[in-house]
Amino acid sequence: MSGVLVAVVGPSGAGKDTLMEAARAALARDDRVTFLQRTVTRPAEAGGEDHRPLSREAFLAERDAGGFALWWEAHGLLYGLPRAALEAALASGRVAVANLSRRVLPEAAARHPLRVLEITAPPAILAARLAARGRESAADVARRLSRRAPLPAGLPVKTVVNDGSVAAGAEQVVRALRGRPG
């Protein structure tokens, strides 16, 4: 039995982490779905997603030893998906959910059964959420919003528009992870 990797993608401010955390809670008793923890060269106390922090040097050593099924660099940080966790989930027939970069989707699709879950929101909502974070200037937010890359062609994609309540968005994510329409 082979599982599937569900790659969660979407722009900053779309609410990916919020909806994934709510979906994780809703699916806590469903052993068919597992959420994979990424390794990131960011301190644990930096906030955001629950990740496994590593120094850049330790990350590169683990990467060179084959410890990551997929890895990429974005915004000055290195991100990796642990090989052992992904392979165990797929071998047991589970849906393995992970937040990935659009740039690694072709590689992910070449190596693993893959579905894409795109979480997005209208531009005005994205801009407001990014501004509320207070991490970037208005010019930086505008630049970030203008550089959205399209998804690679030919991949199965389900899109969730996160423009309502967390509960409504999380319900859409849960339905998508369980392979149900709507």
pLDDT computed for residue 182 by the predictor? 46
Residue 84 φ then ψ, to 5°: -60, -45
CATH 3.40.50.300 fits domain 4-178: yes
Q: What angle do CA 104, 30, 108 make, to 5 degrees?
A: 10
**pLDDT tens figures, 123-144:** 888 888 887 776 677 777 777 7
Domain range list for the chain: 4-178
**pLDDT tens figures, 38-70:** 998 877 666 666 778 899 999 999 999 999 999
The answer, yes or no, to whether residue 92 has pLDDT greater than 50, is yes
Dist CA 18 CA 153 (whole Å) = 27
Known binding-site positions for ATP: 10-17
pLDDT computed for residue 180 by the predictor? 57
- Strands 33-35 and 95-99, by their bridges, are parallel
Known binding-site positions: 10-17
